[in-house]
A and B are shown apart, each in its own frame.
Chain A
Amino acid sequence: MVRELMQVVLARKPKMCSFLEWRDLKVVYKRYASLYFCCAIEGPDNELLTLELIHRYVELLDKYFGSVCELDIIFNFEKAYFILDEFLMGGEIQDTSKKSVLKAIEQADLLQEEDESPRSVLEEMGLA
């Protein structure tokens, strides 16, 4: 499914509209530099707002990583997931406020820092 969609979306030109019908869903996509973000939505869902949903997610990533780039997402894919989880849940939007989502993530990070006792570099290398 991902592969099929990838081909469809990549084949589209910049001036085309960001919505396409695919099977019985609609796909809303947006391109940020070389990254495409896609959402599959159902018939009655609001397309424009889905577009902005993508934008808000990118803004969140941006805020969190500080000018986000592809590598941030690859190396910290789990973080990207966590942010998504705070923002969306089971396909529905959880909170649209940038602040509250980031607050939740920061809290989680704080917890994390408390957990992590410093590890010696050697140990890291040994396990790598």
Chain B
Amino acid sequence: MPAVSKGDGMRGLAVFISDIRNCKSKEAEIKRINKELANIRSKFKGDKALDGYSKKKYVCKLLFIFLLGHDIDFGHMEAVNLLSSNKYTEKQIGYLFISVLVNSNSELIRLINNAIKNDLASRNPTFMCLALHCIANVGSREMAEAFASEIPRILVAGDTMDSVKQSAALCLLRLYKTSPDLVPMGEWTSRVVHLLNDQHMGVVTAAVSLITCLCKKNPDDFKTCVSLAVSRLSRIVSSASTDLQDYTYYFVPAPWLSVKLLRLLQCYPPPEDAAVKGRLVECLETVLNKAQEPPKSKKVQHSNAKNAILFEAISLIIHYDSEPNLLVRACNQLGQFLQHRETNLRYLALESMCTLASSEFSHEAVKTHIETVINALKTERDVSVRQRAADLLYAMCDRTNAKQIVSEMLSYLETADYSIREEIVLKVAILAEKYAVDYSWYVDTILNLIRIAGDYVSEEVWYRVIQIVINRDDVQGYAAKTVFEALQAPACHENMVKVGGYILGEFGNLIAGDPRSSPLVQFNLLHSKFHLCSVATRALLLSTYIKFINLFPETKATIQEVLRSDSQIRNADVELQQRAVEYLKLSSIASTDVLATVLEEMPPFPERESSILAKLKKKKGPGAGSELDDGKKEPGAEINGGMDPSASTASTPSPSADLLGLRAAPPAGSAAPTSAGNLLVDVFSDSPAAAPGLAPGTEENFLSTGAAASVCEDPALPLSEADELLNKFVCKNNGVLFENQLLQIGVKSEFRQNLGRMYLFYGNKTSVQFQSFTPTVTYPGELQSQLNIQTKAVDPLVEGGAQVQQVLNIECLSDFTLAPLINIKFRYGGTLQNITLKLPITLNKFFQATEMQSQDFFQRWKQLSLPQQEAQKIFKANHPMDPEVTKAKLLGFGSALLDKVDPNPDNFVGAGIIQTKSLQVGCLLRLEPNAQAQMYRLTLRTSKEAVSRHLCELLSEQF
């Protein structure tokens, strides 16, 4: 038994733990544990009341058993009893048990809350701290309901001890994170900001954490914290290493607090007050200078703490993105770290440089490190570091170095770890496409990708190469020749067969003149791969064959023979069989003219942004945009075996256009999609094209969409709160859309059938003129084809205090899910303001209420019974459950409310029709509140899957 330094007498526990440790096998351990559990159970059940000490000991044993990974299903009550003990250790163990093994049993929660309440009121600081710890560790909604209004009071009360203040601040932070709606803002907020001036560094540390979190939602309430944070930071940075006594960590003054302050400052734009800004810049310079000083200690702790501050300072510099001098210095510093012997530093330097690469001021400086980074990609022993190196190469790529970077990545791919191959493939594909000067290079690169890492080449990648070849007639011949050569390899990847099949089917004629690649040779080459391929590929090849019949009449007999063979026409797979039968008939019945029309060359695809980019984003951010997922189940996306030339008989690129069609957004000519929201900001900044003005060529290349008028600078990504703002307008048409210190945007709108008119009122809140005021509407994703918005330009000068109005005429062409964006740019006192918001135009605006009788309703309800027609969501109420408010919201949503339809009078039933130009979608909805559980169940049935899902999403955010 180890020497326990401080007195604690739970001998029984120690004996039990040694017993467990002495167990020779898993079985013996389980046996010992079961014995103990039986013992404890009988003690708890026994008639003899246990004293506090025994209870504590048994509860502690249970805890230990739980930590060993066994389930504990009793003892909660005893632990709760311990909470009300007035002996400290008993109380402490009770709280520990509750914190670790919390159970949402409502009966217990009430008792626990009661005990906590008593302790909070006890004025005994140790007890108060225990109670606060417990709240913070559990952080459940029930606790938030019980204590969220109490804790701010404790936090700012004059007589609260420092240690309690610290606990209260962090406890409040935790509650705010779990249930922000329950934490009341108020008069206390200003006093919290002033805790930044507190004498006690521990209190300041806790307070900064709290403020950093609070100010993200309410930046205006806390903006005074900027100058306080700067002065605090400056005091720390300039202090000697001994000034802060115990808060100095290995000769670094208060590293945690410094980092937290730097993080807090990243919530705000650069300070407007010149003096504050000057002081801050000075701090940042000091931090950069210190990095060059010789270390005060050889200990890794010293350098880690110092560098932690440095990296955070660099993040702030990148966040401001306005001090070229600091940015370049930061880049040089990171450059030094790239060659550091500490793996951790190399990793962080690569990561940090990735974000630097997207700043116009430091992009060139980052590029100078290309050789080091390539070297890292080749020689680093740790896959996570190599991954960072690959990310950085991707971020620093532009037209000048694309060929080098792509070829390095390709050669890395041959040995790359399986875990990151797919991502590298996507990156290579994107870079090759984005910076392609000649398309033969592009085609070569992609075919190389398939050759090297065929398994990791996802459908998006090979769809895309086909799309590009089809759209660029100068590369078609080259592509046909290259795939023909690639297919000569004895073993080639199935993806190569797919690309080869498709391209030869379209453009095989371009190389048919050469006897070495005559039509029959082409056909035999493809057909030699046929039997080894999956059903989807074989289906594609069958389509290629029928195209061959059209391109090369001399192959007709051979191909008909193949189609007629039992292995095709009687294939067990329905799709193959059907194709074989149909193509055979088509080739024998149709005249050459008809055949030529039906099997005409694929029309060019609408030029849109690459779907590969969307795929990469999805890969990078697992939690990222649900909006990306909207595209995932695009109807028809499953028929990928398709790519079926005959399916699109004429020139409309139907389902296959959707396949290639690019779930992502074509925002403003560049590759920075705005649709996916700010969640993906990181990912975007990986993409060099997101950096304004970096790659002037990007706009002209074949990626450009022309969806939005090209403006001198890229529009900002939508504000982080854009979705929230949008949600406010789902059920109402008028209100204030946006407001900051400079600008207020009001909105008034009306909708009828598939048309709408919206008035936007831009109010200049300052006394200074706004110049070059330009609001621009952009359409993320496929929205361009779904929604039509016409606007008139507004006067570029907005006088101080004035308001200008803009009218938008809206036409809904078909159902849509993404909201259109409005980007507002203007100059205010010389700085460019750039704001992107979501326009409050959601599908339900085109909802027309329909009254119907109960009988009709149920009949229609039953008609829409396919699983994909229904969308259902069960969710917790975020607002008080008031039936009148709910009614108003449903009416505001646009649906009719049908009385006496649902047998349960508490439920709401509604009906309506979504009016679009191309089609009308009937919608039925049912909302079932459960007041007891504070939950709702919402069910939507419409004739269109995407509509059901989208309306369900929209509406479920409203309650």
Q: Which residues of A contact B (CB under 8 A)?
A: 13, 15-21, 23-24, 43-44, 46-49, 51-53, 55-56, 64-66, 69, 71-72, 74-79, 81-82, 85, 89-100, 104, 107-109, 111-113, 115-116, 119, 124-125, 127-128
In the complex, what's the smallest C-beta–C-beta distance from B863 to chain A, in angstroms? 41
> Cβ of A19 and Cβ of B384 under 8 Å apart?
yes
Given the known A-B contacts A17-B384, A49-B259, A90-B171, are A56 and B249 also in contact in the complex, defined by CB atoms under 8 Å? yes
Contacts of A69 in B (CB 8 A): 2
Q: Which of A92, A113, A124, A128 contacts B209 (CB 8 A)?
A: A92
Determine if A75 and B14 form an interchain contact, defined as CB atoms under 8 angstroms apart: yes
Q: Which of B6, B9, B347 contacts A109 (CB 8 A)?
A: B6
Complex Cα–Cα for A44 and B108 (A): 37
8 closest A-B pairs by CB = A90-B174, A90-B136, A95-B202, A48-B308, A49-B308, A17-B343, A128-B12, A111-B88
Query: Chain B residues near A23 (CB, 8 Å)?
Result: 622
Give Cα distance in the complex from A62 to B806, angstroms.
67
Judged by a CB distance under 8 angstroms, whether B456 is at the interface is no
Asked whether, in the complex, the Cβ of A124 is within 8 Å of the Cβ of B12, the reply is: yes
Q: Is the CB of B136 within 8 A of A46?
A: no
State in angstroms the CA–CA spacing of A17 and B349 once bound together: 12
List residues of chain A with CB within 8 A of the CB of B384.
Answer: 16-17, 19-21
Total cross-chain contacts (CB, 8 A):
195
In the complex formed, the residue of A with least CB distance to B124 is A111
Complex formed: what's the CA distance from A91 to B246 in Å? 22
A108-B343 contact in complex given A17-B385, A94-B206, A124-B12, C-beta closer than 8 Å: no
Q: How many Å from the CB of A57 to the closest CB on chain B?
A: 13
- Contact between A64 and B14, CB atoms less than 8 A apart: no
The answer to whether the Cβ of B529 comes within 8 Å of any Cβ in the partner chain is: no
Which of A46, A90, A107 meets B311, CB within 8 Å?
A: A46
B64 is an interface residue with CB less than 8 A from chain A = yes
> How many angstroms from the CA of A47 to the CA of B761 in the assembled complex?
45
Whether A49 contacts B247 by the Cβ 8 Å rule is: no
B133, B257, B305: which contacts A52 (Cβ < 8 A)? B305
Task: Look across to chain A and name the residue whose beta carbon is closest to the beta carbon of B244.
Answer: A97
State which of A47, A78, A85, A124 has its C-beta within 8 Å of the C-beta of B9: A124
Asked if B185 lies at the interface with its beta carbon under 8 angstroms from chain A, I say no
Expressed in whole angstroms, the minimum distance between the Cβ of B4 and any Cβ of chain A is 6
Q: Are A19 and B344 in contact (CB under 8 A)?
A: yes
| B709 close to A (CB within 8 Å) | no
Q: Which of B14, B60, B166: most chain A Cβ within 10 A?
A: B166
Asked if B552 CB lies within 8 Å of chain A CBs, one says no
In the complex, 12 of the A-B residue pairs with CB atoms within 8 angstroms, ordered by the A residue number, are A16-B384, A24-B621, A49-B304, A82-B96, A89-B170, A95-B163, A95-B205, A96-B249, A96-B254, A104-B129, A112-B7, A119-B53
Checking B100, B126, B249, B255 against A108 with a beta-carbon cut-off of 8 angstroms, the contacting residue is B126
Whether A115 contacts B621 by the Cβ 8 Å rule is no
Q: Please measure, in the bound complex, the distance between the C-alpha atom of A2 and the C-alpha atom of B382, giving whole angstroms.
A: 22
Which one of B2, B9, B255, B382 contacts A17 once the chains associate, using CB atoms below 8 Å? B382
CA distance A21 to B4 in the complex (A): 38
CB-contact partner of A97 in B246, B301, B348, under 8 A: B246
Contact of B15 with A by CB under 8 A: yes
A119 surroundings in chain B (CB, below 8 A): 9, 53
Q: Could you tell me the distance between the alpha carbons of A76 and B7 in the complex, rounded to whole angstroms?
A: 11
Interface residues of B (CB under 8 A from A): 1-9, 11-12, 14-17, 21, 53-54, 57, 60, 63-64, 67, 87-90, 92-93, 96, 100, 126, 129, 132-133, 136-137, 139, 163, 166-167, 170-171, 173-174, 177, 201-202, 205-206, 209, 245-247, 249, 254-257, 259, 263, 301, 304-305, 307-308, 311-312, 315, 343-344, 346-348, 381-382, 384-385, 621-623, 682
Interface contact B87-A115, CB-CB below 8 Å: yes
Q: Knowing A71-B2, A97-B202 are in contact, say whether A17-B344 is a contact too (CB < 8 A).
A: yes
Smallest CB separation, A4 vs chain B (Å):
13
- From the candidates A21, A46, A77, A124, name the one contacting B64 in the complex (CB within 8 A): A77
Chain B residues contacting A55 (CB-CB under 8 Å) are 301
CB distance from B679 to the nearest CB of A (A): 10
Determine chain B's interface SS by DSSP, over half rule: helix
* B92→A108 contact, CB < 8 A: yes
Q: Are B7 and A109 in contact (CB under 8 A)?
A: yes
Contact A92 B170 (CB under 8 A): yes
Contacts A18-B344, A92-B174, A127-B57 known; 7 new A-B pairs at CB < 8 A: A49-B305, A52-B249, A78-B96, A93-B256, A94-B166, A95-B166, A96-B254
| CB within 8 Å for A19 and B173 given contacts A24-B622, A108-B88 | no
CB neighbours of A52 from chain B (8 A): 249, 255, 301, 304-305, 308
Given A16-B343, A46-B311, A119-B9, CB of A75 within 8 Å of CB of B2 = yes
A69 to B5, CA, bound (A): 13
Contacts of A90 in B (CB 8 A): 136-137, 139, 170-171, 173-174, 177
Q: State A108–B728 Cα separation when bound (angstroms).
A: 49
Could you tell me if B205 and A96 are in contact, using CB atoms closer than 8 angstroms? yes
Q: Are A78 and B7 in contact (CB under 8 A)?
A: no
A52-B308, A96-B205, A119-B9 are known contacts. Are A24 and B623 too (CB-CB below 8 A)?
Answer: yes
CB nearest to A97 among chain B residues: B246
The CA-CA distance from A51 to B2 in the complex, in Å, is: 28
The answer to whether A44 and B301 touch across the interface, beta carbons within 8 angstroms, is no
Cα-based distance from A52 to B356 in the complex (angstroms) = 25
Given contacts A49-B308, A97-B201, A124-B9, contact A16 B246 (CB under 8 A): no
Contact present for B311 and A51 (CB under 8 Å): no
Please state if A78 and B249 are interface contacts (CB–CB under 8 Å).
Answer: no
A residues near B4, Cβ cutoff 8 Å: 72, 75-76
Which of A78, A91, A104, A111 touches B163 (beta carbons < 8 Å)? A104
Interface centre among A43, A51, A52, A82 (most CB of B within 10 A): A52
Contacts of B163 in A (CB 8 A): 95, 100, 104
A21 to chain B, nearest CB (A): 7
Q: Is the CB of B247 within 8 A of A97?
A: yes
Q: Are A46 and B133 in contact (CB-based, < 8 A)? A: no
Residue of A with least CB distance to B18: A75
Q: Which residues of B contact A98 (CB under 8 A)?
A: 246
User: What is the distance, in angstroms, from A1's C-beta to the closest C-beta of chain B?
Assistant: 12
Contact of B12 among A21, A47, A127 (CB under 8 A): A127
Known: A15-B381, A52-B249. A47 touches B5 (CB 8 A): no
- Are B9 and A116 in contact, with the CB atoms below 8 A? yes
Q: How far is the CA of A83 from the CA of B307 in the complex (A)?
A: 27
Q: Report how far A111 CA is from B257 CA in the complex, Å.
A: 31
